[in-house]
Amino acid sequence: MMMTVITQNSLMQATGRRKTATATVVLNQGKGEIKINGKDLEFYFPTFVHRYEVLKPLEVIEATKKFDIIGKARGGGLMGQAQAMKLAIARALIKYDPSYRSLLKKEGLLTRDPRMKERKKTGRPGARKRFQFSKR
């Protein structure tokens, strides 16, 4: 396994969350390599939609080939993980250069989506579903 030496000045770390998914990202100047959980982006997120979500912050600042990204994604589904990665990358880019904030904010990439699955209530089959009512 090849280890790369990263200077502390160029290393940016950030975390993003979506539903039950959590993503941690380490951003470094490089040539555009993205690894998630030890796999290349194309293998971890096989569909275009998921890759588009992850790369959106880099496309907004027009730096898709400027940074190497090492990410860890846990929990949730693939879309939740992709959106958590998107938020983590956007936060790391702001740490790298605070001038990116206005561009990313305008695109809505710095807002954490607060929507979560509603919990199941006691005495009911689901969060809102009721058992069938019988009048007689």
In a domain, 116, yes or no: no
Read off the CATH number of the domain in which 92 is found. Answer: 3.30.230.10
In a domain, 133, yes or no: no
In a domain, 60, yes or no: yes
pLDDT of amino acid 4? 44
Residue type, 15: T
pLDDT in tens, 104-116: 999 999 999 999 9
Instruction: Report pTM.
Output: 0.86
In a domain, 74, yes or no: yes
Q: How many domains does the chain have?
A: 1
Sign of CA dihedral 42, 23, 10, 96: positive
Residue in 85, 65, 107 with CA at minimum distance from that of residue 16: 85
Cα–Cα dist 84/19, whole Å: 9
In a domain, 26, yes or no: yes
- Within the chain, which residues score under 70 in pLDDT? 1-9
**Domain coverage including residue 79:** 12-106
In a domain, 87, yes or no: yes
